[in-house]
Amino acid sequence: MNVERRSVLIVGAGFAGAVYARCLAEADVRVHVIDKRSHIAGNAFDETGPDGIRVHRYGPHLFHTANERVLAWVQKYAHWTSFTHRVRAQLPSGVLTAMPINLDTINAVFGTAFSTSDQGKEHLKKIAIPVANPSNAAEYLGSRIGTLLTDLFFRPYTKKMWGVNLEDLSASVIKRIPLRTDQTDTYFPTSDTQIMPNLGYTSFFKNLLDHPLIKVSLDTSFDQAMLSDVRYCFASMPIDEFYNFREGELPYRSIRFHHRSVEIDKVEAPWSPFVLPYSVINYTDSSPYTRETAWHLMPNHLEHETYRRTFTREEPCDYRDNFMERYYPVKTADGLNEKIYRRYTCLSELDASRISFIGRCGTYQYLDMDQVINQSLTGAEKWLQANRC
């Protein structure tokens, strides 16, 4: 396929690519976005399924941010609805408890009846195993919540999710999850604004890419020859793949999604009408599944009533066992994968006059949507300044 001559080539129509494309186009730069998939929106792609319910094909995307610039920017391109994401953890006994861990979780697990955050804090202090500088996820958790809570809520889940033990995982992965001693039961920090696009992410991406200076070509894989004709390239493709894996492979975890459709009156616990409606349940047992989503419980996801409900269970696996679908860069405690990545950044610095790597796969970072947007806004601004557009 020929790319638009003298345009900026953007590889990948996910968050990173679409934000770059929009910023550049608004500064009068012609861009050509290519994506090997047959749809835009990357892993945020959503569509309405046969049950009349919007489903995110690559797992639930819950937008949350504390970044005012990002918030203002996304709101220019779609209408959004406030949403408070709440999750319940299902214990092996079937009991549902608050996740992230809070005072109610502590009471449920230890059979206590604490009513204040101070009591919760005091209890955690008693059961924690102090470690001055935690060097992995196990030490970090042990030093904050002790062994029992760690083994119940984090050990089997993390093993399923990452394929490694807590001892071998970077603490930064677990630090994403707040640990609380009050009764707050929102999944994300309360300082974040949580919103969902009224018409879905795909519609939001259509708006982003709807600009006379943006051309989008789907079902189009990147080819090195494309670089010869373009003004510059921003690539969200895996950086190791671009360099033919010459510095080694950067591993990823992937997810197999198991969808099921259930008649409305056969919907069972935990989503039966008699249980509070949490859209996501995390499974703490050692089954292959980490979590399950009930899509109709997310705002505007029930598009038309068919008297059926769609549920999606997630089964993590190595990306090589899932058609090389890269979802999560693996941050091990030894930092080995980051070392490999740094070798690739050295190579990419030599190519910086013609190509930059962006997004989760381009920069091998475990990034949330708002972080990708923020980095992309900054990156696009810098490029525009340097190129005096």
Rule CB under 6 A: which residues touch ligand UDP?
89, 99, 153-154, 157-158, 161, 173-174, 176-177, 282
CB closer to ligand UDP, 176 vs 382: 176
CB closer to ligand UDP, 129 vs 177: 177
CB closer to ligand UDP, 231 vs 259: 259
Classify 300 in phi/psi space as left (phi over 0), alpha (psi -120 to 50) or beta.
left
Report in angstroms the alpha-carbon separations of 180 from 184, 188, 189, 190.
7, 11, 10, 11
Backbone angles phi, psi at 181, to 5 degrees: -125, 5
- 8-11: strand order across its sheet: 214-217, 31-34, 8-11, 232-235, 355-357
Does the N-terminal peptide bond of residue 134 adopt cis geometry, omega within 30 degrees of 0? no
Nearest-angstrom CA–CA distance, 172 and 135: 10
CB of 19 closer than 8 Å to CB of 373: yes
Q: How far is the CB of 362 from ligand UDP (least distance, A)?
A: 18
Nearest-angstrom CA–CA distance, 215 and 219: 13
CB closer to ligand UDP, 46 vs 247: 46
Q: How far is the CB of 184 from ligand UDP (least distance, A)?
A: 16
Q: How far is the CB of 366 from ligand UDP (least distance, A)?
A: 7
CB closer to ligand UDP, 51 vs 192: 192
Q: Which amino acid is at 230?
A: V
- Which tokens belong to 67? 């970044």
Question: SS3 for 44?
Answer: helix
CB closer to ligand UDP, 74 vs 369: 369
Q: How far is the CB of 89 from ligand UDP (least distance, A)?
A: 5
Please choose, from the candidates 177, 196, 100, 109, the residue with its C-alpha nearest in 3D space to the C-alpha of residue 137: 177
CB closer to ligand UDP, 32 vs 313: 313
Q: Which amino acid is at 333?
A: A
Q: How far is the CB of 65 from ligand UDP (least distance, A)?
A: 14
Q: Tell me which DSSP letter residue 257 carries.
A: E
- Which tokens belong to 313? 């269970």
Q: How far is the CB of 383 from ligand UDP (least distance, A)?
A: 28
CB closer to ligand UDP, 283 vs 341: 283
Nearest-angstrom CA–CA distance, 162 and 238: 19
Nearest-angstrom CA–CA distance, 349 and 342: 11
Q: How far is the CB of 253 from ligand UDP (least distance, A)?
A: 8
Q: Tell me which DSSP letter residue 74 carries.
A: H
Q: How far is the CB of 300 from ligand UDP (least distance, A)?
A: 21
